Structures are given as structure tokens and as C-alpha cells.
Amino acid sequence: MSTLVKICGLKTPDTLAAAVQAGASHVGLVHFAKSPRHLTLPEAARMRAMVPEHVKAVLLLVNPSPALLAEAVRSIAPDVVQFHGAETPEMLARFRTETGIEAWRALGVKDPSDLDQAAAFRGAADRLLLDAPASGLPGGNGAAFDWSLIAHWQAPVAWGLAGGLTPANVGEAIRLTNAPLVDTSSGVERSAGIKDVDKITAFCKAAHL
């Protein structure tokens, strides 16, 4: 089965179109004011309207209040909400039940003990995104963790690999981990928050080899 590809932190129509054209299965829109990839809700809604039906729109939020979460879902109508803070399994399970929308949760991985947290999300999260531990920002820092930690991991829930993935290393990452989904943001940028169309294309090609 082909590896799923998520290009996160898209801010412009041309980079969104490049991700879709290159074969991305998921495109990510970030609503988090501290991020250089931040979109206001109206901006995210306009971008979401450009996503074709065969591609899933993922909205990234960090510890949203109930009011913000409700407004974001109402205005953007994402296919997936990616929670990138300290959201609990109970919160994700409640969100899924109330909305019917896929819920993903980022999980920082530094050592094997961090993977033990994954079991708590069985039945609560539709997917875990294994990422480098938060540093400055919750994600999008361009840092990778030790992929050997998950080389033979028996995942209790669907998952994806994030953190430090680039066109140059994503093929090796998939080979080592058998990741069913790979997620990049800073790895396809010219500078913080500025995506590069050629890098997006190269990443998707390398992930699908």
C-alpha cells in the first residue's frame, strides 16, 4: 500500500495546489498564533475551500478552548483535527463522538518510555503522529527523533511519522520504520513558514518511490 503523505503548514494557493498535484493525501492548515505557519480562521477557511474531495484537509490546533474548537470546526469543516498540545485521550474521544471528525494527536518521542503513552489513545485517537519532543514550538521545528525506537514498534493505534522529514531523508525514514503516513512542514520550506513548491514535489516523489 502506498505511503500516505501530509504536507503541513500550507499558507498559499500555489503551495496547496503543488501538494495536491504531487500526490499528497493530506494537507495541513495551522491555527496557532505563535507559529510562522499560522492562518486566521477565515484564511484557513478560504484555503480549505480549495482542497479537492480526494484530499483530506487537516486543521492543526494546540490546546484549543472548547469555544475555539467549536468555531474552528464550524468555519473550516476539516476532515481531520490534529491536536498538537497536551490534549487527553478523553478529550479526543469526546470530540470524535460529538463531531464524527477524525482526531489525531501528536506524541513527542525521546525515548522508549514515550511510546508507552500511545496505548492510552487506543479507541480515542484515529491516528498518532510521532514527532520530536516540543522545542520552542509544539511542532514544525525541523528536528527528528531516533527512528530506531520505532523500527519494530507494535503500534496500538494508527500512526504517522513527523519531525525533521525532508525530500532527502523521507525514503530512508519509510524504509526503517514502515511508517504508513509521513508528515512534513519545515522540511519543504525555503525559510520559516515559506513553502517551496519544488521541495513539496520532491518530498511526495521520494515518499512514493
- Looking at residue 133, its pLDDT comes to 78
Residues 200, 209: Cα–Cα separation, whole Å: 15
Provide the number of structural domains found in the chain: 1
CB-based burial label for 198 (10 Å; 0-12, 13-18, 19+): exposed
pLDDT of residue 144: 83
Q: What percent of the chain has pLDDT over 70?
A: 95
Q: Mean pLDDT across the stretch 152-164?
A: 94
Banded pLDDT at 142 (limits 50, 70, 90): low
Predicted structure pTM score: 0.94
* pLDDT for residue 138: 56
* pLDDT given at position 209: 80
Mean pLDDT of 122-127: 97
Alpha-carbon distances of 10 from 15, 55, 60, rounded to whole Å: 6, 14, 11
Full residue range of the structural domain in which residue 31 is found: 4-207
Residue 195 pLDDT exceeds 70: yes
For 192-196, what is the mean pLDDT?
96
**Of 21-25, 43-47, 110-114, 119-123, where does mean pLDDT reach its minimum?**
110-114
Res 52 pLDDT > 80: yes
CATH of residue 167: 3.20.20.70
CB within 8 Å of 103: residues ≥ 6 apart: 80, 81, 83, 92, 95, 96, 124, 125, 126
